């Protein structure tokens, strides 16, 4: 929605204010902290710095650079503004402990003039171009059945929510096909396992997607979790990556981070 809004405005007359509003989301990040005290605020600042660098660059590995640790230790000095939102807003405080321990969303805002040089020190650069919408074609095999994850299916609704949530920290959007469209095109669990992601990118546009991410998500008792395998076609290449023994939340985060790294031009996942 934000991307479509920005493009619509750009078609009229962008101007500096519109451009600034569009990229400001790349310089904003959030953390969940306990209370609003100084100690936990600093913890939140450190988390927010890492998140904004990943979001801005599209590269989740940027914070693995050894040079990030000393920057993170003094994260507070890079924050230009911050605000809190009580996650229990509207729920009365029942005791003294609740006054100090209520969870809050801490939102941190950073200035390009501050963060861009930090990113450069870590070997990264801002990814400010319009970010493609990822159409996800996912075959799932859980403990009971096999199915294709769709936007209107009832097999695993929590998976749908988890997938969409995984895209938010990277300032990306994900879409899923609808069940009828998959049936009409003869796309099911078996065909998705071997589908060409480049050809599915042609189908992505039918679901308001720009690029296709194909994958399989299989439950494994031996791995004590899900085994996820992902593929994406970009710049004439087919990228493949996988993870095993994880929750489906972590599987989706792994998928989106890998996709962002590819689409931002930072290389293979």
Domains of the chain: 2-121 (no CATH), 133-263 (3.40.50)
Q: Is the pLDDT assigned to residue 46 strictly greater than 80?
A: yes
Average model confidence (pLDDT) for the chain? Answer: 88
Mean pLDDT of 244-265: 98
Give the other-Cβ count within 10 Å of 29's Cβ.
Answer: 25
The pLDDT of residue 102? 84
Mean pLDDT of 263-267: 96
DSSP E strands, 101-142: 103-109, 133-141
CA 126 to each of CA 1, 78, 120, 176, 178: distance values in angstroms, whole numbers, following the listed order = 21, 16, 9, 28, 34
Q: What percent of the chain has pLDDT over 90?
A: 68
Q: Which sign does the torsion angle of CA 160, 172, 41, 36 carry?
A: negative
What token pair was written down for 87? 């996650």
Q: Is the pLDDT assigned to residue 53 strictly greater than 50?
A: yes
Mean pLDDT of 206-218: 94
Mean pLDDT of 220-226: 97
Mean pLDDT of 175-202: 88
Mean pLDDT of 237-247: 97
Give the other-Cβ count within 10 Å of 98's Cβ.
Answer: 12
The pLDDT of residue 187? 87
Q: Is 106 helix (H, G, I), strand (E, B) or coil?
A: strand
- 19 versus 118: which is more confidently predicted? 118
The pLDDT of residue 100? 59
Q: Is the pLDDT assigned to residue 90 strictly greater than 60?
A: no
Mean pLDDT of 140-159: 89
Q: Is the pLDDT assigned to residue 184 strictly greater than 90?
A: no
Q: What percent of the chain has pLDDT over 70?
A: 88
């Amino acid at each position: 929605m934000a991307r479509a809004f920005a493009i619509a405005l750009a078609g009229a007359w962008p101007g500096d204010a519109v451009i600034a509003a569009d990229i400001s989301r790349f310089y904003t990040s959030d953390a969940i902290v306990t209370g609003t005290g100084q100690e936990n605020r600093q913890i939140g600042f450190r988390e927010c710095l890492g998140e904004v660098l990943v979001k801005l660059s599209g590269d989740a590995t940027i914070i693995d650079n050894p040079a990030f640790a000393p920057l993170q230790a003094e994260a507070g000095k890079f924050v230009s503004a911050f605000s809190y939102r009580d996650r229990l807003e509207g729920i009365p405080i029942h005791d003294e402990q609740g006054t100090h321990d209520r969870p809050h969303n801490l939102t941190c805002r950073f200035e390009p003039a501050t963060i861009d040089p930090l990113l450069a020190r870590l070997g990264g650069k801002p990814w400010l171009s319009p970010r493609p919408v990822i159409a996800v074609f996912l075959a799932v095999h859980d403990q009971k059945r096999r199915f294709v994850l769709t936007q209107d299916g009832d097999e695993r609704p929590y998976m749908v929510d988890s997938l969409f949530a995984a895209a938010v920290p990277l300032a990306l959007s994900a879409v899923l096909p609808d069940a009828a469209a998959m049936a009409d095109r003869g796309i099911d669990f078996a065909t998705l396992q071997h589908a060409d992601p480049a050809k599915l990118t042609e189908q992505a546009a039918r679901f308001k997607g720009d690029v296709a991410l194909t994958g399989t998500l299989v439950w494994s008792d031996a791995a004590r979790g899900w085994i996820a395998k992902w593929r994406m076609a970009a710049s004439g290449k087919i990228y493949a990556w996988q993870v095993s023994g994880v929750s489906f939340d972590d599987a989706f985060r792994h998928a989106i981070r890998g996709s962002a790294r590819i689409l931002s031009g930072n290389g293979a996942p």
